[in-house]
Homo-oligomer: A and B are copies of this chain.
Amino acid sequence: MSGPDRNQLEEGEELHLDFQKLRKVAMASAPVLPVAVQDAETGEVLILAYANEEAVRYTLEHGVAAFWSTSRDELWVKGATSGDTLQIIEVRVNCEQNSLLYLVKPLGKGACHTRTRDGRTRTGCYYRRVANGALEFVDEAMR
């Protein structure tokens, strides 16, 4: 039985939560912690990604959001190829120091890698809500 394809996952209205990703993340070569990324001005939670020690150091030194790409197993400076850089306003740490919150100012077109039907980069990744066991777009303009 094959699962949903990428387009169904990203643009569909069916809920297919992937509970396996985190195990793959934890198996990456570098130990990482989760990072929630929030637009410092609008408050929108944009993305959730993972950072290892090198990525945290890069982020603090260069003032741009960097993560560890657990699929490519390499430093991922957000926007390095797309131009959608996230300027760091503040890096916060939780009580137990096992997760981070990057407060950012998006310098590009958005923070998500997906695009709307008419080709606009979505500002963030949380553009759908769960409703009655399915997904619906939070905002029709983000469809």
Contacts and interface: CB of A to CB of B under 8 A. Distances in A.
Given A15-B97, A36-B36, A20 B9 contact: no
B129 A18 contact: no
A34 B31 contact: no
Given A31-B22, A36-B36, A43-B43, A17 B128 contact: no
A77 interface: no
A126 B91 CA distance: 9
A56 B128 contact: no
A123 B41 CA distance: 20
Interface string A47-61: 110101100100010
Given A38-B45, A101-B45, A93 B15 contact: yes
A31 B20 contact: yes
Interface string A111-137: 011100000001001111110010100
Closest 8 CB pairs of A and B: A43-B43, A26-B26, A21-B98, A94-B125, A19-B31, A92-B126, A18-B98, A36-B36
